[in-house]
Structure 1
C-alpha cells in the first residue's frame, strides 16, 4: 500500500486559503500566511504545500 504525496501548489499571493479541494470531502477552510523568508506554508489539515512563485524551484 502506497501513500500519495501531498499536493503542491504554486501561488502568486503570500495569503492563501485551503479547503482540501475535495468539495464535501475536504476540510474546513483555513487561511494561511506564507512566510516571506521561507516562501512556503503547509496546510495543517491536508499537508498541501503552497509555494510562492518567487520561490519556485528553491523549496524542497
Structure 2
C-alpha cells in the first residue's frame, strides 16, 4: 500500500488561501505567503504544496 503524494497547485500570486477544498470536509481557511526566494509553501493542515508559477518552471 503506497501513500498518495500531497496535492500541488500552481498559482500566480504570492499570497494564497487554502481551505482543504472539500467543503465541510476541508479545514479552516488559512492565508499563506509564498517566500519569493523559495517559490512554494505547504499548507500546515492538508500538506497541499502551492507553487508560484515562476518556480514551477524549474
Give ranges in structure 2 of 5+ residues lacking alignment: none
Deviation of the 1:3 alpha carbon = 1.9
Q: Does 1:22 align with 2:22?
A: yes
Runs (4+) off by over 6 Å? none
Alignment of 1:1-60 (within 5 A): 1-58=1-58
Instruction: Tell me how many residue pairs correspond in the alignment.
Output: 58
- TM-score normalized by the length of structure 1: 0.91
C-alpha deviations, 1:15-58, integer Å up to 9, x for none? 00000011000000000000000000000000000000001132
Structure 1: unaligned runs, 5 residues or longer: none
Name the TM-score, length of structure 2 as normaliser: 0.94
